Structure 1
């Protein structure tokens, strides 16, 4: 039977993570409509080992859980896999309660602990592939740089074949009663939020992520995965491994996202015509997104997910519509490689949107469709036919890529 606040994973490992339903934006950027979990784990034995911490705003519940398991026993070690404050900012509170605890980290973590928390003492520095004996428990450490910070690492307990994976294999969303993958309906909710998490947080480091994932998958026999966000994987860890490998490889689906920027509705009508053309061309999975009202978190996720990405923008001061200009800069950072791109623009007098969309595509060396409508004012019947042609061309290109 579970304790009041904690959940046993095995006979010497406890889940003591917390849910955050108050924070609205992860990293002050990414929407959290259903919150996020900060996962932490306590390994007991001859020595008591805390693996990762939580964000400071949840520290009171976290301390309750920690002390529920420990009672009057000491905390001997804290393992810091990743020093980002959502996993480390409670550390000073824990040090106030357990001042003699030793901190296990790697060389690159030392600067973060010093700069964030003025911590320099009681550090145990581990290297890639090193096995550390902590009482009657053993952990082997593997460096995973830039997944997604330079000091990121994971650890592995051979005895139980458990991987403590830090942000790798994580996802958005609180854990509402169910902690393990076999206790919740992953595909009905967590799948999309895991995809969005990966693309928003790790996507720009996809190459490094894929390298680390291949390293872990080929080196270790993994039976349980304990990430710092999202569910604990005990029944089917291969499912989240396969998902992350697919995301890191940017395996796209046969669909199209059309992202438009429109001040007075004319460019929106153009986007609708393009969407109709896509469907007419044989692709049913189509999303039309307003760049002004859709958080760029979801725009990035859609562009990573779908084979076809079509951008349409009105002109604004001889340039792109500002929200469209922002999302194109974000696309540059993502370094996406498996998409087919389409563009269209509108203007009232001097233009600017299409010129800058072309420059964006050229800078990124994207494959761009030949049909590129540029429309003055509101679209007439001839313009609408050209817009539908763009959609049909996108559908044709996607279907041809399958062959």
Structure 2
């Protein structure tokens, strides 16, 4: 049975939600599933804004048929050519053979790479600033390359001032009836998943996000409609401020994320001591993760959130423990930067963990190492506690200095509605 919602006059949400999907891109855990948003505009001409994943095609096609109510579909605007948003293009062409597919040059290159059909007579190629009149409504297109694919483009509906933002401003997590952010407990339900989505999916492309934010700053925007997650129609500066922090790699708040690998508990013991000593000093925001137990996407999300990171790992096969090596390489690949870092190493006969962690982390930008790396040989000894206390004191002092910097930054910054 069809299920649609009207988000503005004659603009309908015709997407769907998949609570059963286990992994996004077969990689990122989805404990609460994911939403696939698509919208249908009714005017003198009809326009569909993207399609959805193949998993919910039946629901999606029924939604479209219901909203069209016997009308034909004139345009399909493809903001993003990733298969979770374009899986239904071929079926739509079968149902509506005169359908015009709207995209940029790169859109159609990708379309013909993914699919076996070629319908150049149905292609409508648009460029930066081009407009598509639908009747009383007009769509204006803005290219957003590498947010997070090279073909991405945003569509701005001029009358209602609605920004269809492709994957930008999206998040993991399914929708449960309420499709607007202001209808939900966003901070309690969606904020962490929005950060995890941004840092792991878009995080590498902070400079490109900044370019798009500046480009859109001249627009008056009343609603932001992403392809995943809730729609923003109130308090837009809130989510824009998050994107400002995330895309400039500025931590949202001071705090310590302790990440460790531990084969027999000895490295974990050191990390527990560091956490306990910091807590005794009054540090409140402390997170701890075992790389063998926690999916890296959650660790990366908290690395985006907090100011200080402590990594601890044993040497393994004359190198770095595999889980830690993979996590640090992923962080470097995602362009994480501007963090304060402390290191803990463990070895029995060959000392490589600190060396290898340092090498990967030094490849990142604007990283400040705190104190001297703390190393144990197999297990912590009592005589090493004063040295460990020195590292804890260095982290604590850095946190206090960082807190003053964040306060000063907040006092001199205002959030502007794009």
Same fold, TM exceeding 0.5? yes
- Counterpart contact for 1:373–1:383, Cα < 8 Å: no
Distance 1:249 1:113 in 2: 32
More deviation, 370-379/37-46: 370-379
Number of matched pairs: 400
Select 1:58's aligned residue among 49, 56, 59.
56
C-alpha distance in structure 2 between counterparts of 1:392 and 1:280, whole Å: 12
Once the two structures are superposed, residues 208-235 of structure 1 have per-residue CA deviations (whole angstroms, 9 ceiling, x without a partner) of 111211221x121001111101111122
Q: Is the 8 A contact 2:34 2:174 kept in 1?
A: yes
* Bigger mean CA deviation after superposition, 315-324 or 88-97: 88-97
TM-score (norm 2): 0.92
Deviations 1:57-106 (A, max 9, x none): 11001011111111211011100001011110121222222222110001
* Cα distance in 1 for residues equivalent to 2:298 and 2:345: 22
Question: Take 1:151 and 1:84, find their aligned partners in 2: how far apart are those partners?
Answer: 10
Report which stretch shifted further, 392-401 or 251-260.
Answer: 392-401
Aligned match of 2:315: 315
The question of 1:387 aligning with 2:385 is answered: no
Query: Contact 1:276 / 1:391 at 8 angstroms: preserved in 2?
Result: no
* Residue number in structure 2 paired with 1:371: 372
The farther-off stretch of 363-372 and 84-93 is: 363-372
In structure 1, the partner of 2:152 is: 152
Q: Do the aligned partners of 1:273 and 1:388 also contact (CA within 8 Å) in 2?
A: no
Q: What is the root-mean-square deviation in Å for CA atoms of aligned residues?
A: 1.5
User: In 1, distance between residues paired with 2:356 and 2:138?
Assistant: 56
Cα displacement string for residues 142-190 of structure 1 (whole angstroms, at most 9, x for unaligned residues):
0011000001110111111111111111111111010112211111111
**Whole-Å Cα distance in 2 between the matches of residues 36 and 389 of structure 1?**
45
Counterpart CA distance in 2 for 1:50 and 1:362 is 46
In 2, distance between residues paired with 1:344 and 1:223? Answer: 48
Match of 1:276 in 2: 276
Q: Which residue of 2 aligns with 1:25?
A: 23
Q: Which structure 2 residues correspond to residues 205-224 of structure 1 after superposition, within 5 A? A: 205-216=205-216, 218-224=217-223
Q: Which residue of 2 aligns with 1:71?
A: 69
> What per-residue deviation string (whole Å, max 9, x for no partner) do you get for residues 29-71 of structure 1?
1111101100000000111110011001110010111111112
In structure 2, C-alpha distance between the alignment counterparts of 1:351 and 1:246, rounded to whole Å? 37
Distance of 2:327 and 2:8 partners within structure 1: 45
Question: Which digits, 9 at most, give the CA deviation of each residue in 1:109-145, with x for residues without a partner?
Answer: 1111111123342100001011122344311000011
**SS of equivalent to 2:195:** helix
The answer on 1:401 being equivalent to 2:402 is yes
Report how far residue 10 of structure 1 moved. 1.7
Task: Structure 2: give runs of 5+ residues left out of the alignment.
Answer: 405-418
Q: What TM-score, normalized to structure 1?
A: 0.96
Q: In the alignment, which residue of structure 2 is the partner of 1:37?
A: 35
Task: State the match for 1:84 in structure 2.
Answer: 82
Task: Report the equivalent of 1:295.
Answer: 295
Residues 6 and 16, structure 1, Cα contact 8 Å, conserved in 2: yes
